[in-house]
Structure formats: C-alpha cells, structure tokens
Structure 1
Amino acid sequence: MTYLSFPRQHARTQRFTLGVPQAFTVAPDGRRVVFLRSRTGTDTAQLLWVLDLPADGGGAVRERVAADPVALLGGSEEELPAAERARRERSRQSSAGVVAYAVDAEAATAAFALSGRLFTVRLAEEGGVPRELPVPGPVVDPRPSPDGRWVAFSAGGALRVVAADGTAGTGGTAGTGGTAAAGGAEGRALAEPDGDEVTWGLAEFVAAEEMGRHRGFWWAPDSSAVLAARVDESGVARRWLSEPAHPDRPPVEVAYPAAGTDNAEVSLWLLGLDGTRREVTWDRERFPYLAAVQWTAAGPPVLLVQTREQRTQHYLTVDPKTGGTELAAAEEDQDWLDLFPGVPALRPDGTLLRITDTEGVRALTADGQPWTDGRLHLREVLAADGEDVLVSASAGAKAEDPETGEIHVYRVTAEGPVRVTAEPGVHSAVRAGEVTVLTSSLPGRPGVRTRVLRGGTEVAEIASHAEAPSLTARVRLTEAGERRIPCAVLLPSGHTADDGPLPVLMDPYGGPHGQRVTATHNPHLVSQWFADQGFAVVVADGRGTPGRSPAWEKAIGGGRLAEVVLEDQIDALHALAGSFPLDLSRVAIRGWSFGGTLASLAVLRRPDVFHAGIAGAPLTDQRLYDTHYTERYLGLPQEQGAAYDANSVVTSGSIPQLAEPARPLMIIHGFADDNVLIANTLRLSTALLAAGRPHEVLPLSGGITHMTPQEEVAENLLRLQVDFLNRSLRA
C-alpha cells in the first residue's frame, strides 16, 4: 500500500467523511433504513443504499444498493446545473453522485437528481431498478408525494410535477391520479416564473446559508397540493465573481443581499394538483423572513416567520382552504431569537413543540409548557412521531457534570428527560416508529459508529467505509479561566515535561454556530497534525459559540462581537499557560471564515499577544456580509455605522485599530467564494499596503469557493501554513 502523508490523506478522504453512512431515513413500518454512502473512503460518488430489517426482529439483516450513480450515468462525469451547485455550496456538500434524496411517506419510493436528470426507484422492492423520468430539466430537489404517486421538482425556475412511474396517468380526476395532475409523461408546471429573477420551489440565499432552510416546497399530507415558496430576487444587489486566471471568461453574476440592502421577496403559495392556487397570507412587511415550514399529518401547515431584526418571531398555522394564518405562538427577545433544527414540530396529537430560552436556559416546550429544565441545553428536536420526543442536548448550566464537548440523545415527555446515550461523545439519531438509527462520534475512536435499534435493542450496525486516519488525536478537554471557557489542548506525540515550553498555535473558529471543542476524535485531527509539527495547539470556544447557554451565545451582542471573541481567546491562552507547556513569547493563530476574521483581528489589534496569524477566507468588512447573519449581531449599518466600523478589520480603506508592532499575516481566499467575497481579502491587503505592513496573500483560483475540496489545494494549504508558522515563530 502506498503511504500517504496525513495532509494528502485528509484531503483525499474529504476530512475522512467519504465512506461514512449518512442522510438516514427510517420507514414507518420498521422494515427499511435508507441512507447514502460511497463505496470506499476515497470514492466521492455517494450511492443510495437500503438496509432491510426483518419485521419480527428475527431473520437476516440485508444491505443492498438501490442506486449507483456510476451505472446510471454510464461512467460519464456529472454536469451540475447552476442551481444545484449553489444548493450544494450552501449545504457544504462537496461529494458527488446521489448527494440528496427524498422519499414518500412509507419510504417505499425515492427520488433524486443526477446531472440535472430525474430518477426514481422503488425501495420496498429488492432488485428495484432506478427509472429516469423524461422531464424538462435541469432538475433540482425532486420530492415524491406522500402517497408515492407524484414527484415535484424545480426546473428552470418553475415548480413541476410528474407521475412517479413515468406514465401520463390512467383515468381518475385532477388531483386524484388522473392525467390533469400528471400533464403527460413529462409532467406539467404547477407554477412558472413571471420574470427572469423569480423562482418557485427553491430556498433563497439567506434561508439556505443562515436559517438552515434548504427546501422551497412541501407536499400536503394527502398529496393533493404543494406548499411552495416564490422567490423574487429582482431587488437584491448584484455581485460579480471573476476568475482572473481565465481573463477570457466573463464574471459570474450572483444576487447577494449584503447587510443593510434589500432581501429577496419571499411569498408562499398553495398549489393544488387540480390547478387551484391561493397565496398564504401573513404580515410579510413586518415578518419578511420565512425561517421554517412544516406540514405533516399531525395538523395544518406550521410556519415560523421572523422580523428583520430577529427580535420577534411568530409561529403561524395555515388554513389550506383559504391560505389564511393564525398565530399559534409568539416569541420576543431583547437581543435576538435563534433558530433550531427540527422545530417547529407537531406531535401526533397536534401539540406544538418549540425550543425556547426560558429563564436563562434553553428548554423544550410543548404548547408553551417546559418539558426540560436547566440541567439540559437543548440543541435539536430529532423526532416527534411517538409518545415521547427524541432530542439532542448538551449539559445545561444546572447540570451536576459539565460534560465538556458532549452532546447526547434524550427521550423527553411531560415527566422529564431520559438519556438514551451513555458513552462520552457526540451523538445524534433518526427515528420512525420503533426503529432508531443512532450515530456516535467518540473521543477515543476514529470515525462515526452507526447502530440500528429496535426499541432499545441493537439489531444491526451500518458499516463505515471511511479510511482510518494515519495519526491519532490526543486531545485534552478542559475549561480555562474564571469564565470556564471550553478548550481542547493538543501536544506533539511523545512530548514530555522535560521538553520545555512549545510555541503555541491557537486554532479556533470562535464565533456563532461553530462549536469546535467537542468530545470527538476526527474533528481534532488537523489540530493534532499541527501539534506534531512542534506546536502546542489550543482550541477555545469563547462566548458567542454554541452549546453552553443563551447568555453565553448572546454575550457578543450590543456591538461587542469582535471585542468579546478576541478577549476570550486571550483569556483562555493565559489561563492554560499555568497548566500546559505554552511559550507565550511565540503565539500564532489560524482560522477559516469567522476563524479567519478572528485571526486577522488578533494579529492587528493585539500584537502584544499574537506574533503571527493565518486568516483563511476572512470577513474583514462587516458591511460585505449578508443581512440575516450580520444584522442579527450589529443591526442595520445605516443605523449602527459605528458598530460596523468597530467590528470590522478594515473599513473605508483603512484599518481602524492597527497596533504595533507589525506581525506576519498570511491571508488565503478563493476567487469563487460567493459567501465571504474575496473583496474582503483584497480590501485588507490594500489597507495593509497603505499602512506599510508586510503580509502574504494566497489567492485561490480554479473555482475555489468557501470550501476547498480540491485534493492538491487542500493538502498544500496545510503544508504552506506550517512553513509560514515556522518562518514566523522559529526564526
């Protein structure tokens, strides 16, 4: 076997995620588990798999391939439509093949897109052959109706529907199985765009990037209609992404709602298969953000809508007959209201589930009544289909054991929570009926373990084909300073107390929505590799990061974002120096995205603490980032200009808080980044030149976006960073 260095292996395996089973769906009858997985730990093509489970718990468990993208495409390369590339970028999906699928209510039929072509496959039948449906494309986000008879999908900005078996329908009436609903073998459009900048059935940029809503349409439980988002981007400002390495190519136009500018206009419509159409009405002027939609057999559609400043949000129920809405619950917060995966949700009895900030803790509430207390910090509602609710949660502020970096699965009822997972680690689950798929990442075990349970008994384990890392992460989880900042510390392999203090590399994300200090193994591998190059690596999750308490996350409010996150990195560093061999005269910091912003701030504002920095894809001017994220913490730039200046690395062509002495700074950015635009790096470089500050810029061409999945690029970026650190700290 050819030996691969860790940087090459890490890049080739896409951070050891290839070959890991993911995207699970459990059939309600407990007979099947559907999932995605590539064949090996270096194969980027995801296959659709089915795990067949015996109905009575006896007999053999069988695993089979339901769809192989290589066979379906005849070995040819995928050709992704622009809308699909954007969807994958927003969801940080860098693999290939069947990267997403949807199923009907019984998980008997699946639909998926490959190269903009629509495929369906019968999952309930062993040996079922995928069928390509000859529909107008390119197809994005196909979804079967709950009864499995139709497939709706977005194509060319229109929302279309077609019979799932590829026929034109035989008999019946419109909306109940006849030709009027199908519209022929190629289907028909339920809604078509009335302008070049209008789309139906797709999530707009801020919904997919910031709200966690990647969908744009939802089937009625009886399969008679579709609830669809109409997105009008005509008022959204345009940005232009160029590829300087290819001056013969025109720049790419993207609609980007920067802070203080207009968002896309989003409305919601009920589109009947019988041709009826009615708009869902709510106060869209006051509540422009459509944050979440749910429509299940448990009750009417439920919407979560937010005001632009995100201090007020309403949960609305929709009358499908009229499109009118009624208020089910309202929430307000003096800072902002966070969004959580899995909510709103309805229990089978119609009880509305929410995750709310209640008396300083994050609790699960059912029709407004708290079902958990300060011992748990709720993270996500995983399943609400049974008598109990399955959730994931961290230890709350009133927990006896802080359990640094752990996330566990709990079953919750009105009587309280019962913990499902026991081993220290990060756990999650998917459930339907009596079958639960439990995934676990543990600190002492590489990779992810996936177990299938019926009731409380394990009946199968879904194998991971991921490669074993060529090194072992030896992470020490601890808390630092008076604020008990969660930290992970990694030292070189074989380091002893006699070896003396080490140069320090702070390796944070450090901002909202990005928890780095976790009780896992693989997420710490890159930090361990840097440690093995002769550094003491510190990962600190200061205020603003998730997983602790609402107050912890909201301490960055009031225009103090940059100040607070930088202060906590410094406090953690100094507190840990008393327990670990840290040479405080040689301290560097690296990070990507928010972590890149933090690294820039550290080197330029506190060179007395930080002696070198590596900023990957940094946001340097807060006015350049999107509305939903930036305005949550800083308000509107037209009203809070001083806050934007104070929290930007560079503004108006200069660096507002530039301290002495000058420290080395490496900046890395992709030209094709449509999330954090490369203008951020170019403006910072210009300001540094004007100030006479030496720095290095690595511009990444060749289609490099906010992600860097390209194998050679990802590998060499790690090596170049180590070279920079050695030159900066060991000269």
Structure 2
Amino acid sequence: MTSKKITLLILLIASYSIVAQQKITLEEIWTGAFRTKGMDELHALKNTNQYTVLDFDRASRSMQIDLYDFETLEKVTTLINTKDFPELESIDNYAFDQSETKILLATHSSPIFRHSFTADYFVYDTKTKSLYKFTNNAIQEPTFSSDGSKIAYAFENNLYVYDTTSKTNLQITQDGQKNKIINGITDWVYEEEFAFVKAFDWNKTGDKIAYIRFDESEVPEFSMDLYNEGLYPSQYVFKYPKAGEKNATVSLHVYDLKTNTSSKINLGNYTDFYIPRIQWTNEANILSAQVMNRHQNNLDLHFIDASSGKTNIVLNEKDKAYIDITDNLTFLSDNSFIWTSEKDGYNHIYHYDKNGKLLNQVTKGNWEVTAYYGFDEKNKTIYFQSVENGSINRDIYSIHISGKKKNRLTSKTGTNDATFSPNFQLFINTYSSATHAPLYTLNDSKTGKELKVIQSNEALESKVAQYNIAPKTFFTLTTEKGHTLNAWSIKPKDFDASKKYPVLMYQYSGPGSQQVANQWNSSNDYWYYMLAQKGYIVICVDGRGTGFKGAEFKKCTYKELGKYEVEDQINAAKVIAKYEYVDASRIGIWGWSYGGFMSSNCILKGNDVFKTAIAVAPVTSWRYYDSIYTERYMQTPQENASGYDDNSPINHVNKLKGNYLLVHGTADDNVHVQNTMKMIEALVQANKQFDWAIYPDKNHGIYGGKTRLQLYTKMTNFIINNL
C-alpha cells in the first residue's frame, strides 16, 4: 500500500471516529456517561464554620465523611472512613446530633415507598472514635434528642427511645400494627403528597416527643402482585385512600419521658382533617401543629402548651382554591416566626410575632419566593431564593427582616441554589444553566462576590461539546387565545429553516410544576439531543396550571384538571404547526405520570393535531388516584363528578386516530397499573389499535438493570416508526 493510500485511510478512520463520537447513544445516557460531579450529602454545620461532604474513594471502595473549612475550603479532617470499620459497609446518609460530635450513620438501606426506607443504623462518636449499633433491627428515622443523650426511632409502626448512656431501649407506643395503626411515621398518602416520613419531633429540652398517630383501619386496601423469581407470585397489600374514600384518622400525642406517659392533644372540633406538619417552637413546652381541612383550603396553625394541653390558633389561612404545605415555618430566638404564603397572589415571606400578629410582609412583588434559607439573627437578615429575575431562573437574595435592603447575591443567569455557613458570612452556590454544567463556588454573603471555585464540570462541558449539538433555546409562545407560555426548543445542529421537520413535544403540566427551567441537562435532555441528531425538533411548553408565575396562573385549573392544560398543549401545537420549518402532519407528544395523563388526553382531544403520543405511567381517571393530591385540586368525586370524568382520557378512547404507546410498571404504588389496565380495556372495547408495554415488578420510576435502556429504546423506535 502506498504512503498516499495509508494517509487517506488514516484520515478516513479519524473522520469516522469523530462522526461516531458526535452521536449520542442511549447506552451512554443510561450508563452514566454524562453524570455530573457534585458535593454529595453536603451538610453545613451549626456550631463551627465548617461543612461536611460524603466522599467515595474508588480505589479502596471506601466512603468517608470529610470535614471542610468554609473560609479556606481546605479539608480539615476525615471524621470517619468505612475502611476503618468493617461492620460499616457503606454510608447511605448521615445526621449529626446538636453538639455535632455524634453521627447517626445509615447503611443497608431498603426502600419502602418514594421517601421512606428502613436501614441499619450506627452511632459514631467523633471524640472517642467509637462506632456502635444501638439496635439489631432495620429501623426508620432515628433522631437525636437535643443533648444527644437519646435517640427516638420507629420500628414496625411503633416508636422507641434509645438511651445512649444506659444503652437501653424504651418502647413508647404499643399499638402499632401493619395496615392498621402507625405511630410517628406517615402513611402512604401523607408521605407521597405532604412529602414527609418522620411524624415525630423532639422538644428543645429533650424530655418530650410529639408524634402523629395514624389509624388506617378503615382505609381501603390496594394490592399488587409481585412476580419476583418464585413459582407463585406474592402479593403486596397496603392502605391507599383513593379520591373520595376513607382517609386514616389522625391524632396528635405528646410523650413525656419524665413521667413515661403519653397524652392526646385535643385540637378542637375538626372532622376529616389532616395534620401535615408538627414542629416544636423554641419554647420547650410549646408545640406547633398545622391542621388542614379535607378540601385543603383552610389551614390553622396551632400553638399547643404541652403541659396543659391547651391549644391556641395563632394563624389562619384561607384560599378560594387550595393551600400548598411547605417546610418554611421557622422560629426565631424570640419565638416569633417566619411564614411563607401566597395570600397576596404570589409566594412571599411574612414575619409574625409569637402570638401570631403580623409584624411585616418581608418580600413583595409579582414574583415568587422559591426557597427560604435562613435568618441571620446578628444582622437581622433573611436569605432566600426567588424567580424575580424571570420565572425560568433562580437567584439568591438577602433582605433585612424589615423588608428593606434587598440585595441580589448571584449574577449568573440560570439556576442558583445556596448552602450558607453557620455564621451566614459565606455560602456555597450551586449554579447551572442550559449551557453551563453545575458549578460550585464559595461566595460572600454580603456582596455575593465569588471567592473560589470548589467544583466545576468543565470536563463534562467539553465532552458534550464534542457531540456538536445545538443548545436548548428558551422562548415564549402565545396561543391564539392569548395565553403567553414559557417554552424551550432543541433543534438539529444542521437546522435549515427551508426544510420541514417533525416535532416531538414534551410536558408534565402538573399543578405548580415546571419543565421550562434554565438549568443543566437531565437524562431526558440527552435523549432529546439524540432525537435532534436524528432530525427531530423537540419542544416543551409549560401551560396554565404550572408554577412560579403567581397563584392565579397556577390555580386556574382548580376543579378541572386536564382541561386548560390540555387546551394549552393543543393550542401550542397549532402555533408550532404554523412555523414554516415544521411538518404540521408530524407532531407528537409524550409525558410521564401527570405528563402521561396529558399526552393521552392530547392525542384523543387533539386528534387532528397530534399524530403520535407516548404515555408512561399515566393517570387515566382521577377516580383511581389518591385522596390528598386529587382532592386538593378537584374536591371529591362525590362533589365534582364532571370535573373528574370530562377530562379523564379513559372516557375519550373513541377519539383515538393516531399512534399511541401506553407504558406502565406493575409494582407502581403511586399511579397504579390499574389506570393502564382500565385504559387498555376501554381501547379494546372501542376497537382501537395501539401499542403497550408492561414492566413486571417495576415501580413508578420504571428502572433497574437495563430497564430504562430497554424502555427508551422502545420509545425511540416508536417515534422513528410513527412520527
């Protein structure tokens, strides 16, 4: 072979290699090729100006909790390394006691539902370097008392207290029983919809524990067959209150460790109510409890004297639609408190005195507070995150508690999130945008000035750049009905406006949600870039009902889930169809969960607009979904039958014209596979042709092993063949 031919061959091989590198593959997406570097389990300490991070050493296969100095970012020491303790195989998460000298370490975690899990727990004493296991049971939610001398935890629906001095366990509730009575841990629907598991709390002096008791005896049961590996399937049965059905009866109790007695708190004449949060105030005897009616449009904040049992409603909130529960309630040193509310039409920060008298509305404006970070007592300054710089962005701000001296502390447009040092002089900022991978920096809390870079993802940015993809672009879309909606699009790199392209729309659309956000890529985004490489345009539109644009925009879907959201997706598709570079006959839509509910409705009600739809784990009738979520937005089926039925896709199957793929996991404890089975039967009886895939023993996330790879391969092929 001549040297000229060899050179040509080398050039051809190099050229092929470059082209191959530029093609995103599903294997890369689902094997972590685009994983970002971060700061895992970042904890800002309270007593010293330091923070901890959970690090993993791949060489030794060990995990360690490393302590860093906030000002220098230098590593101070390793608090514990699993290689020094063979009995501690891994650290799944950790929590400090108040003195921050003892650490609770979880290992062998076993998930129950979305947030809940059991684990083996150890206590590590950083002073004596000793590690011990305080129970041989796999337990839930262990929590130190204020002085670190005791640990409260849950096991098999009962509460226990371990005394670290006497090394003894005390069982403080006796009636816990599966699918009947739960003490101190939430039931399924509270966990899923009020987003908490630990339904107990220590008071400030460590001599009382408040807890919620759930009596779910009369709650209807739901069962799931688990196929596993055995000859016969097993059945998992749990309490699940569907819309309009019986909820667990909840009650509030206080256990006194001095007298070893438990007392039930009389909250008043409530019927069919929720206790979505309990929290001790800074006064050792005063417990706060939020009590909400079943419609979730009336909330009372109780202050309860645990000694006398006397309760006082210090704050009441009403809403014509519904009230969202948050974790922003914060008690200051004088027992005045911070509260966030949408009562002026946007989510803002309020300051009340200890008796519930409004002292000041701290933040104001036609924008939303999206996170409350804390209060610097010394400088009377509140730190928070908001969308003041555009609803798709997040910035960090400081403001005096009087509502004056507001200061924007972040300068990069995108999504900023903060972890503050104990003295509030510094914060670690996590920044990303659609074009910038997560960047961790140390910033000054007074000026926002960036002091040091802690962790960057420049290597990932360079890797992504090699694929030569066109970045996600943001824009607003106005429908013919005059609704201006946030949107983004991903186009092929070699986009040519003179050509016609097929469009795949993605959305979620659930109340208060957001998919059009200026932040770094998710796994789905890489899939969209892959589809763009195959000649598709991918567009996402956040319609009415989504979040961070004020209460009116979010709550307009009240009592009619799926009406205005579906209208907006159909009308947005009609606008997109008129773009000169869009093939109006090839518009598809897909979504997961609420998004699957939406995509199903869209191909049925918008059968003249959408050619193809994919619905993963969809709700097909709100009658099949849980009470707290559904009734928050719809009231009960008994009160609002038309709201449930008019917009449920299961009632519109006769309208199917296009290509429809229906996907579900059989072990989905959230959106039950019943939704898909009922939809399948309705489609069959309507004599409609469609495609479907059922994933045995997979939950709402449909993952595990090569499951995601297989699912996304199926969806990719479906799109290529049908759009």
Q: Equivalent pairs: percent with the same residue?
A: 22
- The 1-side partners of 2:563 and 2:370 are apart by 26
- The 2-side partners of 1:644 and 1:319 are apart by 42
Task: Report matched runs for 1:678-697 at 5 Å.
Answer: 678-697=673-692
- The 1-side partners of 2:86 and 2:30 are apart by 26
Conservation of the 8 A alpha-carbon contact between 1:39 and 1:46: yes
The DSSP-based 3-state class of the residue aligned with 1:538 is: strand
1:532 Cα deviation from its structure 2 partner = 2.4
**Aligned equivalent of 2:708, options 710, 714, 725:** 714
- The 2-side partners of 1:10 and 1:238 are apart by 38
- The 2-side partners of 1:611 and 1:224 are apart by 64
1:412-459, Cα deviation, whole Å (9 max, x unpaired): 322343222221111222333224332222222123535465765666
Task: Report matched runs for 1:197-216 at 5 Å.
Answer: 197-216=180-199
Task: Report matched runs for 1:153-192 at 5 Å.
Answer: 153-164=153-164, 167-168=165-166, 185-192=167-174
Bigger mean CA deviation after superposition, 189-198 or 265-274 = 189-198
Give the aligned partner of residue 26 of structure 2: 7
Give the aligned partner of residue 62 of structure 1: 75
| Pair 1:659 & 2:643 matched | no
Change over 3 Å in CA distance of 1:225–1:453 after alignment to 2: farther
| Pair 1:381 & 2:394 matched | no
- The 2-side partners of 1:467 and 1:138 are apart by 40
1:151 Cα deviation from its structure 2 partner = 1.7
Conservation of the 8 A alpha-carbon contact between 2:602 and 2:610: yes
Conservation of the 8 A alpha-carbon contact between 1:119 and 1:130: no
The DSSP-based 3-state class of the residue aligned with 1:721 is: helix
Give the aligned partner of residue 614 of structure 2: 614
1:692 Cα deviation from its structure 2 partner = 0.9
1:541 Cα deviation from its structure 2 partner = 0.8
Give the aligned partner of residue 501 of structure 1: 500
TM superposition score normalised by structure 1: 0.84
Change over 3 Å in CA distance of 1:250–1:709 after alignment to 2: closer
Task: Report matched runs for 1:83-482 at 5 Å.
Answer: 98-115=91-108, 116-122=119-125, 129=129, 131-164=131-164, 167-168=165-166, 185-196=167-178, 197-244=180-227, 248-274=232-258, 275-283=260-268, 285-286=270-271, 288-297=273-282, 300-340=286-326, 342-367=327-352, 368=358, 369-384=360-375, 386=377, 387-395=380-388, 403-412=390-399, 413-416=401-404, 417-431=406-420, 432-434=422-424, 435-447=426-438, 449=440, 451=442, 462-463=454-455, 468=460, 470=464, 474-481=471-478, 482=482
1:65 Cα deviation from its structure 2 partner = 4.9
- The 2-side partners of 1:220 and 1:466 are apart by 46
1:258 Cα deviation from its structure 2 partner = 0.7
Bigger mean CA deviation after superposition, 627-636 or 528-537 = 528-537
Cα RMSD after superposing both structures: 3.0
| Pair 1:671 & 2:666 matched | yes
Conservation of the 8 A alpha-carbon contact between 1:20 and 1:37: no
TM superposition score normalised by structure 2: 0.85
Conservation of the 8 A alpha-carbon contact between 2:439 and 2:457: no
Bigger mean CA deviation after superposition, 207-216 or 687-696 = 207-216
Conservation of the 8 A alpha-carbon contact between 1:362 and 1:374: no
1:722 Cα deviation from its structure 2 partner = 1.1
Change over 3 Å in CA distance of 1:216–1:385 after alignment to 2: farther
Conservation of the 8 A alpha-carbon contact between 1:47 and 1:65: no
1:385 Cα deviation from its structure 2 partner = 5.0
Conservation of the 8 A alpha-carbon contact between 2:157 and 2:176: no
- The 2-side partners of 1:318 and 1:630 are apart by 30
The DSSP-based 3-state class of the residue aligned with 1:444 is: coil
Where does the alignment leave 5 or more consecutive residues of structure 1 unmatched?
77-96, 169-184, 396-400
The DSSP-based 3-state class of the residue aligned with 1:209 is: helix
Opposite residue 354 of structure 1, the aligned amino acid is: W
Give the aligned partner of residue 582 of structure 2: 582
1:622-666, Cα deviation, whole Å (9 max, x unpaired): 11111111011111112222221112111xxxx346325x21111
- The 2-side partners of 1:480 and 1:261 are apart by 40
- The 2-side partners of 1:467 and 1:303 are apart by 48
1:197-255, Cα deviation, whole Å (9 max, x unpaired): 22222122222211122322111112222222222221211111113565612211111
1:483 Cα deviation from its structure 2 partner = 2.0
The DSSP-based 3-state class of the residue aligned with 1:297 is: coil
| Pair 1:526 & 2:527 matched | yes
Change over 3 Å in CA distance of 1:493–1:9 after alignment to 2: same
- The 2-side partners of 1:158 and 1:15 are apart by 43
1:466-525, Cα deviation, whole Å (9 max, x unpaired): 983755671111111032201011112332334x12101011111124211111122333
Where does the alignment leave 5 or more consecutive residues of structure 2 unmatched?
1-16, 109-118, 353-357
Bigger mean CA deviation after superposition, 362-371 or 675-684 = 362-371
1:465 Cα deviation from its structure 2 partner = 8.7
- The 2-side partners of 1:53 and 1:348 are apart by 26
The DSSP-based 3-state class of the residue aligned with 1:497 is: coil
Conservation of the 8 A alpha-carbon contact between 2:295 and 2:631: yes
